[in-house]
Amino acid sequence: MTQRHSSTATTVLITMLLFSEPAFAYLDPGTGGMLIQIILGGLAGLAVAGKLFWHQLKSFFRFSSSDKQDNPSDES
């Protein structure tokens, strides 16, 4: 974002916060359970993505190090 867009977005956000009215919303116990499920689902997704990335990174280094180990035994 450019500096002009950033300042415009900040001005709009501050204006919305200053002139907002109370919502009188009710959060029931089910809402807390839903938020916990969202957080746990996000953590599980990050864990799977991390495991996949870690496996690829680990296999990359294992492949390159196994080539170096195989070369001296082939030359002998």
Mean pLDDT to the nearest integer, 36-41: 96
User: Which is more confidently placed, 71 or 8?
Assistant: 8
Instruction: Give the domain ranges of the chain.
Output: 3-75
- pLDDT-derived band at 70 (thresholds 50, 70, 90) equals low
Share of the chain above pLDDT 90, in %: 28
**pLDDT tens-digit profile of 13-23?**
999 889 888 88
**Rounded Cα–Cα distance for residues 23 and 73 (Å):** 74
The H or E element spanning position 31 is helix 29-75
Other Cβ atoms within 10 Å of 5 Cβ, number: 9
Q: Which amino acid is at 34?
A: M
Nearest to 37 by CA among 25, 45, 49: 45
